[in-house]
Amino acid sequence: MNSRNLLIDQIKGIACLLIVGHHLAFYGPMSDVAAPLLAPLNAWLFEYGRMAVYLFLAIGGYLAASKWSTPNTFVKRSVTEHISHKFWRLALPYYGAIILVIFCNELASLWMQHDSISATPTAWQLASHLLFLQDILHYESLSAGFWYVAIDFQLFIVSALVIFLIEKLAPASWSFKTTRYLALVLIILASLASLIIYSQVHALDIYFIYYFAAYGIGMMAAYANQLQRSVAYLTMLLISLAYGLFLYQEANLRLLLAWMCACVLFLSTDLKLPIPSVTALRALGQRSYSVFLVHFPISLVVNAFWMKFLPREPGIHALGMVCAVLLSVLLAWPFHEIFEKRLMRRFNRT
């Protein structure tokens, strides 16, 4: 495994644990009972744990652009094939998670009544989820975090189409290097527009443009890695100055985190820095999408079980929160093997 992938996996491992912790702190009810013991930790996770999503956004942009910034990407595989492959990579585990969510909601509803438990979905609500359109069509989400899957797909589609059209419509006399520079300029402009304008409009948080500042900074880092060293460093310096000036004024910690992640990815690739390996963290990062999908329904059942059958003591419910994390991680292993690997391999053969 190269150092770049090792770094990415370990960042994803940390990020997915922060998101699990955030949802446990945010939704309760175990966190409410455990508050006398865990109040500072719960408050921190409540406020800052959700920001880890922006690490995934920056990494997602970096990985996507790492493919598109190399020659003949859309010759080896058409843009529709790229999009289709991305859809099914997201959708197959996501569909499995929908089944798990419906089952866990029904089970949890037997033991407790709580706002985090969703009603049995209607046919239209379910259909909207299958197409990643639940938020745009204003249906209640079946699980925390499903919004991110839809946003990730939106970002990928738009970015792939833009890069493809640049290469397709460029004059025949243009070299690939020229089209790559043009793509980088457009990514920078779109990212700055998102940073300064669209990310400030909360009504847009169901659309890709709200998050493109984070996704785009990851893309920029990948494109900069393909440039000559002096040009690459100048590019990242100018981008960093623009982002830094705005983030200093706005104190936007989420986008600051995405910017830091992109800079680390850029430098680690360019300088080929040795990355220390933590085996468990690396393995968790490789399964982070599965953890992301299964943790909420599992946490829901654990919350319901603890509230129904165990004393409402802070220590016992703090232990319940730890159990929810461990069970989510344990279930993610077979879930990843079945939905992300085996089913995807079978799908690729068809």
Q: What is the pLDDT of residues 199-239, one digit of tens each?
A: 989 999 999 999 999 999 999 989 888 877 667 677 777 77
Return d(Cα 18, Cα 343) in angstroms, integer: 28
This prediction has a pTM of 0.93
Task: Report the residue count for the chain.
Answer: 350
Domains in the chain: boundaries = 3-349
Extract the tokens encoding 342.
């085996």
Provide the CA 260 distance to its chain's centre, in angstroms.
Answer: 16
Q: Where are the beta strands (DSSP E) in 250-312?
A: none
In this prediction, residue 246 has a pLDDT band, given cuts at 50, 70 and 90, of: confident
Q: Determine contact, residues 179/170, Cβ cutoff 8 Å.
A: yes
Query: In whole angstroms, how far apart are CA 276 and each of 2, 34, 121, 145, 269?
Result: 12, 35, 45, 30, 14
Q: Per residue in 32-68, pLDDT tens?
A: 999 999 999 999 999 999 999 999 999 999 999 998 8
Name the burial class of residue 108, with classes exposed (0-12), middle (13-18) and buried (19+) by CB atoms within 10 angstroms of its CB: buried
pLDDT tens digit sequence for 181-192: 888 889 988 998
Which amino acid type is present at position 163? Answer: I
Are 20 and 297 spatial neighbours (Cβ–Cβ below 8 Å)? Answer: no
